[in-house]
Amino acid sequence: MSTVAVWALGRWNADPPATARLVVAGLALGISVGAVGFGGAAAALDRTAALRWSPLRAGHVVALATVVGGVFVAAQAIGEQLVPNLVIVRNCAGFAGLAAFGAAFLGTARGWWLPLGWALPVALPLPQDTAAMQVLAWPMAESGTAAATITAAALAVLGTLTYAIRGYRS
């Protein structure tokens, strides 16, 4: 649903920075909605199961990022390209890592706060003239920006590993 809204609003918007902010908010919203599913029936049952949950949890994070990113890329393939596909992939990976980290420490009921909470202030037009602001505003950076790519990759790896090893907090 967030994809349809972003695509429709982006088609009528002639301002590229505003369109990029719309895409960032839409990606974070899509990841946040899917992140609620990072939990199971009961954390105690997960800890006593005979299955190794780490690969399944990591796969869940990757699947969420792939589905949300794939829907946005497919929408751009059908219509017009609002942002480069590499930006969508980078942002989905970073937001999925944030959601996984949130599920591990805040629980699945509140884990979605991290990606959405990071994306909404960043979607405001802020100056990106310092290195710290480039790291904090990584979702808004252009494709190929080293600071944004490293930050998103670090968030994706850290969040996925934390969630895969620690599990979710109930």
Average confidence (pLDDT) over 151-156: 96
Token pair 């994809």: residue: 3
Average confidence (pLDDT) over 100-113: 91
9-64 pLDDT tens trace: 555 555 667 778 888 888 999 999 999 888 866 666 666 766 778 888 999 999 99
Backbone conformation region of residue 130, classed left if phi is above 0, alpha if psi is from -120 to 50, else beta: beta
Question: How far out from the chain centre does Cα 166 lie?
Answer: 20
Please state the domain count of the chain: 1
pLDDT band per the 50, 70, 90 thresholds, residue 130: confident
Question: How far out from the chain centre does Cα 71 lie?
Answer: 13
pTM to 2 decimals? 0.88
Q: For residue 109, give its domain range.
A: 2-166
